[in-house]
Amino acid sequence: MNTTTSDAVLVKNYIYGNERALEILVLRHKSRVYNFIYSKVLDRDLSEDIFQDTFIKVIRTLRKGTYNEEGKFLPWLMRIAHNLIIDHFRKSNRMPKFESRDKEFDIFSMLKDSGRNAEKQLIVDQISADVRKLVEELPEDQKEVVYMRLFKDMSFKEIAENTNVSINTALGRMRYAIINLRRLVVAHNIVLTE
C-alpha cells in the first residue's frame, strides 16, 4: 500500500483496521476538501472546523460499516463537506448569538488572589490564553456549549433551550468537548497548572 493505491483499496484497508490507509486518504484529499470548504465559508478557522468534522464523519461512517463503496470516495467526501457547510449556515442563521457584554471575558479575572505576584500572574494569563486557544479548536457545537457552561455559567437546561437540542445532547457535547480538550492538551504538550 502506497500513495498510488486507489481510494477504494485504501477505504477497504482502513475498514479492516489499517490506520495508515486513512492517513494516505487524508493527505491525498486534504487540499481539495479544505479549499472547497474555504471557498464557501471564507474563514480559515471555520474551514478547519468543518474540515475536521468532515473527516470525523468519514471515520464514523467507515467504522460503522455503513459506507456503500461504489468507487466514488471523493464525491462522497465532498458531499459530506458540502452538507456540513449547509448545516453551518443553517445553524448560524437560526441560532441566537451569545456575546458577553464585556467581550474579552476572562474566567481568571473572577478569581480573587491578592497575593499573586507578577510571575504567577503571567503564568495564569498564559493558562487562560492556552485554554481559550484550545476551546477555539473545538467543533462549533462543542465550543458553544463550553462557552455557555463555563464562561457564561448557564445551566444545561438553559443551554439545551437556547441551542434547540435536548439536555442529553447538550451534556453529550460537553462530554466530547472535555474529551477533545484533554486530547488537545496532550497533543500540544500544554501544562495547565500554576
Interface residues toward other proteins, by CB under 8 A: 19, 22-23, 26-27, 30-32, 34-36, 38-39, 44, 47-48, 51-52, 55-56, 59-60, 63-64, 72, 74-75, 78-79, 137, 179, 182-184, 187-188
User: From CA 56, how far away is CA 173, in angstroms rounded?
Assistant: 15
Closest CB to other proteins among residues 117, 189:
189
Q: Which of 76, 87, 60 is nearest to 7 (CA)?
A: 76
Distance in Å, CB of 78 to other proteins, minimum: 5
Distance in Å, CB of 184 to other proteins, minimum: 7
Closest CB to other proteins among residues 77, 160:
77
DSSP secondary structure letters along 140-175: HHHHHHHIIIIIS---HHHHHHHHTS-HHHHHHHHH
Distance in Å, CB of 114 to other proteins, minimum: 38
Closest CB to other proteins among residues 60, 90:
60
Which stretch of DSSP H or E encloses residue 75? helix 73-94
Decide: residue 16, CB within 10 A, 0-12 exposed, 13-18 middle, 19+ buried.
exposed
Closest CB to other proteins among residues 72, 120:
72
Distance in Å, CB of 25 to other proteins, minimum: 10
Closest CB to other proteins among residues 17, 115:
17
User: From CA 113, how far away is CA 69, in angstroms rounded?
Assistant: 59
Q: Assess contact for 41 and 50: CB atoms under 8 A.
A: yes
Distance in Å, CB of 125 to other proteins, minimum: 22
